[in-house]
Amino acid sequence: MPDIRETMYIPAKKSPGRLEVICGSMFSGKTEELMRRLRRAEFAKQTVLTIKHLIDARAHHQCIVSHDGQERSAHAIDNTPEGIRKILTLASHNIDVVGIDELQFFPKDILPILLALVDQGKRIVVAGLDLDFRGEPFGIMPTVMALADSVTKLNAVCGMCGKNSHFSQRIVNGQPARYEDPIVVIGAAESYEPRCRSCFVIEKKPEYKAML
């Protein structure tokens, strides 16, 4: 069946676009929620573009995979200026919805791209970690949350006490990671655990003054 949208498409300037943020700790179901929203759009015959960061090597390069094993094919984008600009090309005129997973890994150069797509009337749904393993704001996530139309914060279950958690505890050889450790280390259950505020442990308290 020919795609009716090819000939019927009307540039969506009439209604403003939307920027939706899904955030939370690891194992809070961010990627599943992103996939759910994208699938919902596809049921309505909207065209969806899915993007992931190339850094996330847990999965096959052409897919985003949630921890429960759901898969969805995605374009892997790297941090170079060319890579970021490629999003604009990929999200050409007939794309209605753009989904981006692991947004926290992208540099701030992606912000004007996201806003440009919103100005074109597209719906942008992004998922990412709001806090790093030290419990501090992660990269561009704070800015994106301020600029967004909607922010959904998801909770995981604390691996220690079972309460709602919103921190990602990094564990190295069974011990909480050190404050000076690098921010980005890709892993899964063997190296990260969701923790609530009471059970979250970081060796050194963050120096907010130095950070801000």
- Please tell me the distance from the alpha carbon of residue 35 to that of residue 131, in angstroms, as a whole number: 21
| Shortest Å distance, C-beta 113 to other proteins | 12
The secondary structure of residue 131, as a DSSP letter, is B
196 near other proteins, rule: CB under 8 A: yes
SS3 assignment, position 38: helix
Nearer to other proteins, 73 or 150 (CB): 150
Contact 180, 210 (CB under 8 A): no
Judged by CB under 8 A, the stretch of 30-38, 76-84, 92-100, 149-157 that binds other proteins is 149-157
Query: Site map for other proteins, 91-130, x if CB under 8 A?
Result: ---------------------x-----xx----------x
- Spell out a b/e string for 18-30, using b for 16 or more CB atoms within 10 Å of the CB, else e: ebbbbbbbbbbbb
Taking CB under 8 A as the criterion, which residues in 14-53 touch other proteins? 15-17, 23
Neighbours of 104 (CB within 10 A): 21
Interface pick for other proteins out of 42, 78, 149, 181 (rule CB under 8 A): 149
Strands 48-53 and 75-77: parallel
Q: Which residues contact other proteins (rule: CB under 8 A)?
A: 13, 15-17, 23, 112, 118-119, 130-131, 135, 137-138, 141-143, 145-151, 153, 155, 164, 166, 196-198, 208-209, 212
- Residues labelled as active-site residues: 102
